[in-house]
A and B are shown apart, each in its own frame.
Chain A
Amino acid sequence: MSPPELGEHFFRHEYGRLVAMLSRRVGMRHLEMVEDAVQCALLAALETWTRSHPPENPSAWLFRVAHNHVVGELRQRARRDRLVKERGPGEPDPAANGPTAALAGDVRDDLLRMLFVCCDESIPVESQLVIALKTLCGFDVREIAERLFTTEANVYKRLGRARGRLRELPLEADDLSVEQLSSRLPAVQSILYLLFTEGYLSSHAEEAIRRELCDEAKRLTLVLAEHPVGGAPETFALLALMHLHAARMTARQDGSGGLLLLEEQDRALWDQREIQVGLEWLAKSARGDVFSRYHAEAGIAAEHCLAPSFGETRWDRIVECYTLLERLAPSALHTLNRAVAVAEWRGPAEGLAVLEGLEPPSWLAGSYLWAAVLADLHRRCGHDDVARRYRDAALGSAPSAAVRDVLKRRLQTRRDSGKHQASDAG
């Protein structure tokens, strides 16, 4: 009998699975203790399995060890409490829910429940994201800080806020009703969307690290999509857009980690299987009369994926999707993207007209995106002085060397060759 092979992210995914299962059994207010117990169980596995071999059923082994830890800890606390207040009611005996009963339950239920609990509206969104990364994806504080481009102290702060809120929640909050689940679904979708974009848009140099976040988002969204509670058209559209973006991820970089513009990308590198899966989810999302922002974004991504070349892109359809997107989720960024698409469709002057009179919010006005698009459109309209001013602003606020390089190349070739092409709007 050969031991079972452990999957690629076995330890991380087991962490998420076990935390979700155990915290459901003992309550979210014991979350931290549960996380410690799971950490201990994984360490014990590392120690034991490297000396012998992993057991027949590694997941069951881990559950047993972590469960015993939790039970032991709860008993100890109950004993302490009893000493303090002389025979209180104490904790219910968690051993009553034996591990065998626990394993019979659907693990995906537990993961989803955890995700919904983390998306409590009283927890700030940036804390929701961090606690999801910690508990469901099994990243530790250092890894989260690295992935979100922030400091460990900041991650601790956000985690602390989430945990504090989870501890304060009334006990009933652990078991969400069907109505609560449905009303919280949009929050869950947006946290998964955020998780995906953190990976997809990250300027992290290592593709593996960016892809990992995208994979986690896809994994959890799939669980959501396949569950009656989350199987809504918006969820399908969300999953579609993740696949359609992920399909083009590898092609976004050249061999040495530099960024490539959409028109420079080798479309043969696009992952056809991912595109296929994305289109299937998109088709599924078309049922019913819901059209969400995810539908619009998936529609844009699909147009890019289906275009045989940059020149043959259906810019009219992309403009239409951006118009819908602006209506569903008003943002100056979407208007900016629409301007880029309009410029491809009807020429740079029309693109500029879209932006006329638009007062961008300060976060956008100060970003390289705004300046770069304006530099590009003005340049193509022959407004050299304005173009140069925006170009300098764009280069000045580029967040990384890779972005600066791509901007230089892009805004430079224009001057030399006068070719009219736009960057990826989507």
Chain B
Amino acid sequence: MPKYLCLQRGLPGGGKDGEKPSPAQMQAMYAKFNEWREKFQKHLTDIGGGLGASRLVTTQPAPDGPLVEVKELVGGYMVVTAANMDEAIEVARQCPGLVRPGSGVEVIEIHAP
């Protein structure tokens, strides 16, 4: 089955994350997330994570111009195995907290040899 790379990314104008969740809301998110994980167990090939420090490796001196770091664009990633794009989109859509005001998920097909 094809694999899909899911990138969480900010949307233009969406900037802020909104209010910080309260402990009670975190409890609810925790429960929802576990439900989601259970439901899509066989699709979640790599549950991924957030992105941290990075360094650019090149064969020549890095270009002078401004280079946007991937981290600035992408909040986190995961890899989903699904029969097709629609199914992969459904897995991402139902993930609690992933698709919210100000951020969306880009689902990208991975071409396997």
Contacts and interface: CB of A to CB of B under 8 A. Distances in A.
Contact of A46 (B26, B37, B48, B49): B26
Contact of A140 (B22, B33, B47): B22
Interface residues of B, number: 17
Contacts of A8: 27
Contacts of B48: 51
Contacts of A139: 22-24
A15 B49 contact: no
A98 B21 CA distance: 29
Nearest to B19: A142
Contacts of A12: 23-24, 27
B20 interface: yes
Interface string A261-291: 0000000000000000000000000000000
A50 interface: yes
B50 interface: yes
B30 A6 contact: yes
B26 A11 contact: yes
A152 to B, nearest CB: 11
A10 B19 CA distance: 21
A14 B50 contact: no
A11 B50 contact: no
A50 B24 contact: no
Interface in B1-38: 19-24, 26-27, 29-30, 33-34, 37
Contacts of B49: 51
Given A138-B23, A140-B22, A47 B50 contact: yes
Interface in A228-279: none
Interface in B30-84: 30, 33-34, 37, 47-50
A143 B22 contact: yes
A353 interface: no
A46 B50 contact: no
B26 A50 contact: no
Interface in A28-68: 39, 42-43, 46-47, 49-51
A9 interface: yes
Interface of B: 19-24, 26-27, 29-30, 33-34, 37, 47-50
16 contacts: A8-B27, A10-B27, A11-B23, A11-B27, A11-B30, A42-B26, A43-B26, A46-B30, A50-B30, A50-B37, A51-B48, A140-B20, A140-B23, A142-B19, A142-B22, A143-B24
- Which 10 residue pairs are nearest across A and B when measured between Cβ atoms? A140-B22, A11-B23, A12-B23, A138-B23, A50-B33, A11-B27, A15-B23, A11-B26, A46-B26, A51-B47
